Amino acid sequence: MEYTQLGRTGLKVSRLVLGTMNFGPFTHEADSHKIMDAALDAGVNFFDTANMYGGPGNRGRTEEILGTWFAQGGGRRDKTVLATKVYGDMGDPDAPWPNEGRLSALNIRRAAEASLKRLGTDRIDLYQFHHIDRATPWEEIWQAVDVLVQQGKVLYAGSSNFPGWAVARANETAARRSSLGLVSEQCLYNLAERRAEMEVIPAAEAYGLGVIPWSPLQGGLLGGVLRKQREGVRGRSTGRAADQLADPAVRDRVERYEALCADHGLEPGDVGLAWLLTRPGVTGPIVGPRTAEQLDSAVRAVGLELPAELLAALEEVFPGPGPAPEAFAW
């Protein structure tokens, strides 16, 4: 496994991030534990979750599964850089009540305490804002986070799904408070979805944030979906990708992509992950395996060096939008 610094921090994390969103809804607790053990054995030390993961009516279950895994001991917690998130409403959907979600100081404090309890730990290494809260001023958000940092319950703060302007505003406010500010941004980014390159990734680079792409294979679209369809393979990812393939332009690009990968003797999923690891500012993509075998495939991509001619061809198949403002102005 390869490691890198998380943004401008001194924290070393693996160049592959274990996503846990499937733990609970699709992967049972025992199998989830096996996947996390396999990840540590492979050198993956960066685990990502969220307080709302767990499936409909069972929010928080994924954090509980991580908590029971940590409770097994064996250095599991100390070896893991643990990232979770706050924003989603954690109240009873049938009896909604104010202040059970978003980024008020009240909810940040309450949500952090609840996550710590479910995770069975005394600290959250990276506490991420799952979405922007346009109604809460950054002075209030940082006041709440600074208290958690002073208490040792949170070490770093990160964002997720933020536009570039929000990254800038958050960190400018933090600087005025002499706070560390955001150190990472988790965003939708892959070969087929490159809009983050216009402003989000440049903002992250300018402020020293590590970029953590989610959905690195665009919901299975870049994982060899056409070949799987020909072979009769069915699954959640092929079903999601099939909806995207209804667009003839998307299908054409995916056909060219899979042909390129085949010409180089490479698996499409490996190429999609390896490409992200070549991108400026990227710490590591999040992979959400449902089985240990899927994890093995993702780990293989970390050591894959893509030839220059393949990288150039990929740019032709999936061209980026270009930087802002030139992408939409002169």
Classify residue 262: in a domain, yes or no.
no
Give the helix/strand (H/E) hosting 12: strand 12-14
Q: Are 306 and 276 in contact (CB under 8 A)?
A: no
Q: Is 303 inside a domain boundary?
A: yes
Residue 241 falls inside a structural domain: no
Q: What is the CATH number of the domain that holds 94?
A: 3.20.20.100
User: What's the domain count of the chain?
Assistant: 1
Q: Which residues of 176-207 are buried (b: 16+ CB within 10 A; e: fewer)?
A: eeebbbbbbbbbbbbbbbbebbbbbbbbbeeb
How far is residue 65's CA from residue 276's CA, in Å, rounded to a whole number?
Answer: 29
Round the average pLDDT of the chain to a whole number and report it.
Answer: 96
Query: What pLDDT was estimated at residue 104?
Result: 98
Taking the model in full, what pTM does it have? 0.96
Q: Give the model confidence (pLDDT) of 232-279 as tens digits.
A: 887 776 678 888 999 999 999 999 999 999 999 999 999 999 999 999
pLDDT one-digit tens code per residue, 189-244: 999 999 999 999 999 999 999 999 999 999 999 999 999 999 888 777 667 888 89
Question: Is residue 112 within 8 Å of 86, Cβ to Cβ?
Answer: yes
What pLDDT score was predicted for residue 240?
80
Side-chain half-sphere CA neighbours of 70 within 13 A: 21
Question: Could you tell me the pLDDT band of residue 121, with boundaries at 50, 70 and 90?
Answer: very high
Domain that holds residue 284: 3-218+269-310
Sign, CA dihedral 130-136-138-144, equals negative
Separation of alpha carbons 107 and 144, rounded Å: 9
Tell me the C-alpha distance between 209 and 65, whole Å. Answer: 29
Phi, psi at residue 83, to the nearest 5°?
-120, 130
Instruction: Evaluate if residue 328 carries a pLDDT over 70.
Output: yes
Dihedral sign from CA coordinates of 325, 327, 329, 330: positive
Residue 297 pLDDT: 86
Residue 320: inside a domain = no
Residues β-bridged to residue 12: 5
Give dist(CA 89, CA 91) in Å, integer.
6
Beta bridge partner(s), residue 5? 12
In a domain, 305, yes or no: yes
* β-strand partners of 3: 14
CA atoms within 13 A on the CB side of 257: 28
**Do residues 148 and 110 make contact, with C-beta atoms less than 8 angstroms apart?**
no
CB-based contact 286:19 (threshold 8 Å):
yes
Question: Does some domain include residue 324?
Answer: no
Q: Work out the percent of the chain whose per-residue pLDDT is above 70.
A: 99
Q: Among 53, 87, 189, 207, which one carries the catalytic annotation?
A: 53
Distance of alpha carbon 158 from alpha carbon 148, whole angstroms: 14
Domain assignment present for residue 209? The answer is yes
Helix pair 105-119, 61-70: axis angle to 10 deg: 50
Gyration radius from the chain CA atoms:
20
Query: What gap in Å lies between CA 193 and CA 217, rounded to an integer?
Result: 9
Query: Are 162 and 141 within 8 A, CB to CB?
Result: no
User: Is position 156 annotated as part of the catalytic site?
Assistant: no
Output the pLDDT for position 320: 96
The answer to whether residue 256 sits within a structural domain is: no
Give the pLDDT band (50/70/90) at residue 19: very high
C-alpha angle with apex 161: 238 to 57, nearest 5 degrees?
65
